[in-house]
Amino acid sequence: MVRSERKRDLLHGAIGADYLEARMREGWRPVALEWERQVEGESAGKAAREEVPFGLRVSGDCLHLEENPGEMDALKSMLELMIQDISLTRVAEELNRRGFATRDGSPWNAAGVFRLLPRVIDVAPRIFTDSQWETRRKQIARVAWNS
C-alpha cells in the first residue's frame, strides 16, 4: 500500500520558481497554500490557535495528528541522553552533532531542550514500549554505566 507523506515548510520570505521546481524535482507536489497577514484588533469570535506538539504533525486528511518521524527521532535522542544524566547543554550539542534541528530549522540550545522537557515526559511511555527501545536501552546501559 502506498502512503502519502506531507511536509510543511516555514517560509521566511517570498517563494521563487526555483524553490518550487527544486521541491518538485525531489518528488513533492503542492497540495495546499496557507496565507497569513497582519490585521488590526482581535476578533472576538476567533478560535484560539494551538501549536502542534513537537513530534507530531497534522495528518494528510487534516483531521488528526500523526507522528513526525524526524521530530520523534530527536525526542528519542533527547530521552536517551537525559537518561545518561547528560546536561541540557551537552544534549543540545549532541542533537546538533547528529543533524537534528528545531522545528524552525535553527540549531538546538539548552533553553530549547528545556522547553521540550514536558513533551519528552509526555512521549516517554510510548517510546519505552517501542520495540526498538529494548535494543537502544541495552546500548545506553553499556555506554552510561560500563564505560
**What pLDDT is attached to residue 37?**
83
Specify the residue for cell string 524526524. Answer: 70
Residues 123, 124, 128, 131, CA torsion sign: positive
- 137 domain-assigned: yes
- 74 domain-assigned: yes
- 24 domain-assigned: no
Rounded to two decimals, the pTM is: 0.62
Least confidently predicted of 21-25, 85-89, 93-97, 133-137:
133-137
Please tell me what DSSP assigns to residue 6: -
Count the domains in the chain. Answer: 1
54-79 exposure pattern, b = at least 16 Cβ within 10 A, e = fewer: bbbbeeeeeeeeeebeebbebbbbbb
- 57 domain-assigned: no
**What pLDDT is attached to residue 45?**
52
- 14 domain-assigned: no
How far is the C-alpha of 131 from the C-alpha of 147, rounded, in Å? 25
| Residue 129 belongs to domain spanning | 69-145
**What pLDDT is attached to residue 41?**
72
- Going by pLDDT thresholds of 50, 70 and 90, the confidence category of residue 146 is very low
**What pLDDT is attached to residue 106?**
93
The residue-averaged pLDDT of 93-115 equals 95
The DSSP bridge partners found for residue 130 are none
The residue-averaged pLDDT of 45-71 equals 85
> Which range among 24-33, 82-91, 138-147 has the greatest average pLDDT?
82-91
Residue 131 predicted with pLDDT over 80:
no
- 139 domain-assigned: yes
Residue 48 predicted with pLDDT over 80:
no
Specify the residue for cell string 520558481. Answer: 17
- 1 domain-assigned: no
The residue-averaged pLDDT of 35-39 equals 81
To 10 degrees, the CA torsion angle through 115, 47, 36, 103? Answer: 20
- 129 domain-assigned: yes
